[in-house]
Structure 1
């Protein structure tokens, strides 16, 4: 059985697509965000592309290191589909070269792990003002 936050977004709520392969990292984001917006989860970059094409999404959070297709590879593909949607890259292992590659591929912003709650909220509301904490 599907959950409301996963498959049946509530009308007029902000919808975030979170591409995160680590269960604990996703559960942390879910705990912080589920009261404020609807969430769609992808566990791989490839799945993120599929979910984006199947759903109306307001903002995407992409982990840089994922199986099947990295976040940067997914970012490049997502930008072929949509130039305007905010895409926030996240990683615990951010190197300047990764950030520069993501920036060139069209990343809107970056969040480092472990997630800083204040930075997360500020970053999300900056690109998605309808999201209220």
Structure 2
């Protein structure tokens, strides 16, 4: 019998209630680590090598866009999902330009989020096996 290891998600979210909601929705299928700002997100990324990142855009000390750029300088492959309350097309374009692979708006639609996570992880797994 093969023991399957749950993928590790780094959730970068400064709002505790937003984090707790994401944690409650995802904890069953994923291991979760939490960064409370962009600086901590970059540090945890370096130390933990998560399989995927959920990156809030508006955070203290270092915003999510800048944190994404810093992570992209280290790793161009890790999937990053930008999470933002801003639904304007310009916000999406800016996030994609900073390195995200997908963009999800708040309030988070759990079906959209989980299908996006599954899709990005399957693409990553396919690339890793090549």
TM-score by length of 1: 0.86
Structure 2: which 5+ residue stretches go unaligned? 124-130
Q: Which has the higher helix share?
A: 2
Give runs of aligned pairs for residues 74-85 of structure 1, distance below 5 A: 74-85=67-78
Q: 1:109 aligns with which of 102, 105, 111?
A: 102
Provide the residue aligned with 1:6 in structure 2: none
Distance 1:129 1:107 in 2: 16
Contact 2:82 2:103 in 1 (8 A): yes
The count of residues paired between Structure 1 and Structure 2 equals 120
Contact between 2:95 and 2:103, CA under 8 Å: does it hold in 1? no
The CA distance in 2 between the partners of 1:103 and 1:56, in whole Å, is 21
**Deviation >4 Å, runs of 4+:** none
Could you report, residue by residue, the CA deviation over 1:2-44 in whole angstroms, capped at 9, with x for unpaired residues? xxxxxxxxx8220000000001100001101111010010000
- Structural RMSD (CA): 1.5
